[in-house]
A and B are shown apart, each in its own frame.
Chain A
Amino acid sequence: MSTKRLTVLKTYKIYIGGQFPRTESGRYYTATNAKGEHLANMCLCSRKDVRDAIGTARGAFGGWSARSAFNRGQILYRIAEMLEGRKAQFIEELMLQGSNKAAAENEVTLSIDRLIYYSGWCDKYQQIFSSVNPVASSHFNFSALEPMGVVTIVAPQQYSLIGLVSLMSPVIAGGNTCVILASEVKPLCSVTFAEVLNSSDLPGGVVNILTGKVSELLPHLSSHMDVNAVCYSETNATAIKMVKENASLNVKRTAIYENEKWMDEKNQSPYYINDFQEVKTTWHPIENIGGAKAGY
């Protein structure tokens, strides 16, 4: 009798509302390594999946944006802690998808550190970008930031993990919720990363992760009328034009990152958070009766 143990293979599903369903379409595509060898069957998501995910993200927005900045920071920190504990699994998946060991290790540790970086920003970016405005009239006038709402994100193709982490973190740090289309060519880590999110106190629906074809889903991600902002990060002039045109349907904000090198720490900053924030200015009268001056 053979004692060789057969490996149990993971079914790569998608992540919507804190759960792991399969695509409603029942379709799949094959993720391969650089040599074209089969790695896994991935969900080939449909327009319906996109709509479901956006609806779920919208439902999660109220709760997530109302969390205190401190609490959001704690949760991002927790995501980093969970990822640190599962480093080996991500390194293995990155290597399956073609990275060498050193590059894979580097990508995973950078991803952890980036989560910590944005965790720290959760209760600080407001202090960088907000202002008290010295208006001439007798008013106390201040401008503060608020999250935009639901953001759709097309993750970079070449960076299976760090790309997704780099785009997701500033969006949720700022109180938005999102739907992410994972790298089409290197999708493994994104689904495994969803497992990390799922065990890190992040409320379901704040981050939703789909797999599938960019060419099929980008039109829907950019045109859906309940989306507030679209984030796209490839150099593809045709796609960018389409995203911007579709965005005009309901005046979506667009963030296009064409030249970012996500492995570089220069490409992390609070400005990525600011890209998904509205500025709200409040005027409040200052009563100006009596003659008292602050004399002492």
Chain B
Amino acid sequence: MAVKKNTLKLKFDSSRNLAPALESKSVAKIAERYDLFINGKFEKPSSKKYFDTINPASEEKLSSIAQANAADVNKAVVAARNAYEKGWKKTSPKERAKYIYRIARIIQERARELAVIETLDGGKPIRESRDFDVPTAANHFFYYAGWADKLEYAFPNRNPKPLGVAGQIIPWNFPLLMAAWKIAPALATGNTVVLKPAETTSLTALKLAEIIQEADLPPGVVNIITGAGATGAALVNHPDINKIAFTGSTDVGKLIQKAIAGTNKKATLELGGKAANIIFDDAPLDQAVEGIINGIFFNQGHVCCAGSRLFVQESVYKIVLQKLKDRMETLIVGDPMDKNTDIGAINSKQQLEVINKYLKIGQQEGAEMFQSACSIPKKGFYCRPTIFTNVAQSNRIAQEEIFGPVLSIQTFRTEDEVIEKANNTPFGLSAGVWTDKGSKIFNMTSKLKAGVIWANTYNKFDPTSPFGGFKESGFGREGGLHGLGAYLKV
């Protein structure tokens, strides 16, 4: 009798073919065309130009979005300045709080609609937009609303004052949540805002504009202008902006830092990352494998703090790798509107091309690629969950941010070795540590150069918890008490 090869591989071929559980699109009211939200009203762009926003899961057009040019940006900044000087900075802090509480409440009330639109426009699984993006955005407004009349306790012996007009530029990976991260603390601290969402994901920001109208926020306190890089550049370079808050790539972050040199503009930059997720041999391995999966495949890997560099202690490398591959086979890639979907659509064709480029580079560099065998839809932008083994520290896939569901795996023997390897990157946004030994966790957290470190968990976010990076991952923090300072003169 032949001895059956001992493999951990589980059989998922039949039982895992779940029937589709599609979220209904009917709750999403998407207009054919969206104008710019300036001074409390939707206004046609002076550029007279509109661009399409599509559903990356089906490549179907969802709506036309106004393209703001420099004149539109100026109009928005003037509106924000007027709102600041004439009303908002004189509004009593506790009344300011009440507006922000209203926004939080309306987001909670319209949560389902926002989740559906977020998924249609951005491609992320409905489960994530419903259970993470939208509730966390509402909670963020709640948290910062409460700070509005309590600032003197956050900065003892200081009399904190707002900066003025904040220009805010956000990315496409968490569109509504990033808008909340930017707008909530800015308003709580008494600033007014001009926000520019990313061009592929404008819709929930424009829904937020509707919510802001519904909350009766004074006109001009929040202005939302849509467009691509040129619109963002016009905002950054506008002379009447006091503060730039940017979340996006390190390359653009550097351009912004350079552009505002020689001005009095303050900045917070939340940039790229290449986080080390470190598995020690004493870690609870099944839990750690879940952490690896969540770390790199959450939101298709479109996460600046994604655990994209996995370091596994040599003694458990084989078993972790096998468990990881087995677990990857269970991941469902497909229609983001399906509640069973684990990995949705890549946000744009352009991003899919970037990811595919890195898949080629990885292989050319000599790393071994493994992808799960799942099927992917014919239309739309999709990428199978991917891991690379046999990766060298100097490989581009171990050094550069890919921003997709692509994990590079390396091994290590000692704590010292993994600290060296983990820190050997220009980035420093986040890291993960998996071990049962508490004292080891604290050794790692004190020596890893990163702004957020998750121990035996990954990708956790909370309005009370500061987020932001070391080194080329940017500066300034968002969230928590520390997120207030970015919008105040203290």
In the assembled complex, the CB of B265 is this many whole angstroms from the nearest CB of chain A, namely 28
| Residues of chain B from 133 to 155 with CB closer than 8 A to chain A in the complex | 139, 142-143, 145-150, 153-154
Please give me the residue from chain B that is nearest to A265 by CB atom: B94
How far is B154's CA from A98's CA once the two chains are assembled, in angstroms?
A: 40
- Tell me, yes or no, whether A272 is within 8 Å of chain B by CB: no
How far is B416's CA from A290's CA once the two chains are assembled, in angstroms?
A: 6
Is B416 within 8 A of A116, CB to CB?
no
- Tell me, yes or no, whether A85 is within 8 Å of chain B by CB: no
How far is B101's CA from A269's CA once the two chains are assembled, in angstroms?
A: 20
In the assembled complex, the CB of A82 is this many whole angstroms from the nearest CB of chain B, namely 14
- Tell me, yes or no, whether A295 is within 8 Å of chain B by CB: yes
Number of B residues, CB within 8 Å of A: 38
- Contact partners of A287 in chain B: CB under 8 A: 437, 439-440, 442-443
- Tell me, yes or no, whether A289 is within 8 Å of chain B by CB: yes
| Residues of chain A from 276 to 296 with CB closer than 8 A to chain B in the complex | 284-296
Q: B416 contacts which of A113, A120, A121, A292 (Cβ < 8 Å)?
A: A292
Decide yes or no: A284 and B439 within 8 Å by CB, A70-B139, A120-B146, A123-B143 being known contacts.
yes
In the assembled complex, the CB of A178 is this many whole angstroms from the nearest CB of chain B, namely 22
| Residues of chain B from 408 to 445 with CB closer than 8 A to chain A in the complex | 414-416, 419-420, 423-425, 437-440, 442-443
Is B416 within 8 A of A74, CB to CB?
no
- Contact partners of A73 in chain B: CB under 8 A: 142, 146
Please give me the residue from chain A that is nearest to B444 by CB atom: A287
Q: Mark B92-107, 1 if CB is under 8 A from A, else 0.
A: 0010011001000000
Q: Mark B460-474, 1 if CB is under 8 A from A, else 0.
A: 000110000001000
Is A113 within 8 A of B439, CB to CB?
no
- Contact partners of B463 in chain A: CB under 8 A: 70, 123
In the assembled complex, the CB of B250 is this many whole angstroms from the nearest CB of chain A, namely 16
| Residues of chain A from 103 to 126 with CB closer than 8 A to chain B in the complex | 113, 116-117, 119-124
- Tell me, yes or no, whether B26 is within 8 Å of chain A by CB: no
- Contact partners of B228 in chain A: CB under 8 A: none
In the assembled complex, the CB of A272 is this many whole angstroms from the nearest CB of chain B, namely 12
How far is B155's CA from A127's CA once the two chains are assembled, in angstroms?
A: 12
How far is B445's CA from A285's CA once the two chains are assembled, in angstroms?
A: 12
- Tell me, yes or no, whether B7 is within 8 Å of chain A by CB: no
- Tell me, yes or no, whether A29 is within 8 Å of chain B by CB: no
Q: Mark B389-407, 1 if CB is under 8 A from A, else 0.
A: 0000000000000000000
Is B414 within 8 A of A290, CB to CB?
yes
- Tell me, yes or no, whether A140 is within 8 Å of chain B by CB: yes
In the assembled complex, the CB of B28 is this many whole angstroms from the nearest CB of chain A, namely 26
Task: Bin chain A's interface residue count.
Answer: 20 to 34
- Contact partners of A140 in chain B: CB under 8 A: 442, 446
In the assembled complex, the CB of A239 is this many whole angstroms from the nearest CB of chain B, namely 32
Is B449 within 8 A of A286, CB to CB?
no
In the assembled complex, the CB of B80 is this many whole angstroms from the nearest CB of chain A, namely 25
Count chain B CB atoms within 10 A of each CB in A123, A270, A288 and give the residue with the most: A123
- Tell me, yes or no, whether A15 is within 8 Å of chain B by CB: no
Q: B438 contacts which of A70, A269, A284 (Cβ < 8 Å)?
A: A284
Is B439 within 8 A of A294, CB to CB?
no
How far is B145's CA from A121's CA once the two chains are assembled, in angstroms?
A: 10
Is B146 within 8 A of A296, CB to CB?
no
In the assembled complex, the CB of B252 is this many whole angstroms from the nearest CB of chain A, namely 23
Q: A294 contacts which of B415, B438, B449 (Cβ < 8 Å)?
A: B449
Count chain B CB atoms within 10 A of each CB in A73, A77, A285, A287 and give the residue with the most: A287
Is A120 within 8 A of B150, CB to CB?
yes
In the assembled complex, the CB of B433 is this many whole angstroms from the nearest CB of chain A, namely 12
Is A119 within 8 A of B442, CB to CB?
no
How far is B439's CA from A123's CA once the two chains are assembled, in angstroms?
A: 28
- Contact partners of A1 in chain B: CB under 8 A: none
- Tell me, yes or no, whether B158 is within 8 Å of chain A by CB: no
Is A70 within 8 A of B443, CB to CB?
no
Is A127 within 8 A of B442, CB to CB?
no
Q: How many interface contacts (CB-CB < 8 Å) are there between A and B?
A: 92
Q: B442 contacts which of A269, A286, A294 (Cβ < 8 Å)?
A: A286
How far is B149's CA from A269's CA once the two chains are assembled, in angstroms?
A: 11
Is B446 within 8 A of A286, CB to CB?
yes
Q: A296 contacts which of B439, B443, B449 (Cβ < 8 Å)?
A: B449
Is A124 within 8 A of B146, CB to CB?
yes
How far is B97's CA from A285's CA once the two chains are assembled, in angstroms?
A: 41
- Tell me, yes or no, whether A8 is within 8 Å of chain B by CB: no
Is B146 within 8 A of A294, CB to CB?
no
- Contact partners of B147 in chain A: CB under 8 A: 120, 124
- Tell me, yes or no, whether B481 is within 8 Å of chain A by CB: yes
In the assembled complex, the CB of B341 is this many whole angstroms from the nearest CB of chain A, namely 28
- Contact partners of A270 in chain B: CB under 8 A: 150, 153
- Contact partners of B446 in chain A: CB under 8 A: 140, 286, 294
In the assembled complex, the CB of A123 is this many whole angstroms from the nearest CB of chain B, namely 5
Is A296 within 8 A of B424, CB to CB?
yes
Please give me the residue from chain B that is nearest to A286 by CB atom: B442
In the assembled complex, the CB of B116 is this many whole angstroms from the nearest CB of chain A, namely 24
In the assembled complex, the CB of B251 is this many whole angstroms from the nearest CB of chain A, namely 20
How far is B153's CA from A287's CA once the two chains are assembled, in angstroms?
A: 35
Is B415 within 8 A of A127, CB to CB?
no
- Tell me, yes or no, whether A136 is within 8 Å of chain B by CB: no
- Tell me, yes or no, whether A128 is within 8 Å of chain B by CB: yes
Please give me the residue from chain A that is nearest to B148 by CB atom: A120
In the assembled complex, the CB of B390 is this many whole angstroms from the nearest CB of chain A, namely 24
Please give me the residue from chain A that is nearest to B146 by CB atom: A120
- Contact partners of B154 in chain A: CB under 8 A: 127-128
- Contact partners of B448 in chain A: CB under 8 A: 294
Is A70 within 8 A of B150, CB to CB?
no
- Contact partners of B148 in chain A: CB under 8 A: 120
Is A124 within 8 A of B150, CB to CB?
yes
Decide yes or no: A74 and B142 within 8 Å by CB, A127-B480, A287-B440, A295-B423 being known contacts.
yes
**5 residue pairs bridging A and B, Cβ less than 8 Å apart:** A121-B146, A128-B153, A128-B154, A270-B150, A286-B439
Ranked nearest first, the 9 interchain pairs of A and B with the lowest CB-CB distance are A120-B146, A287-B439, A292-B416, A286-B442, A296-B423, A290-B416, A287-B443, A285-B439, A292-B419
> Besides the contacts A70-B464, A117-B149, A123-B463, what 14 more A-B pairs have beta carbons closer than 8 Å?
A74-B142, A113-B94, A116-B94, A116-B98, A119-B146, A120-B148, A121-B146, A121-B150, A127-B154, A127-B481, A285-B442, A286-B446, A287-B437, A296-B423
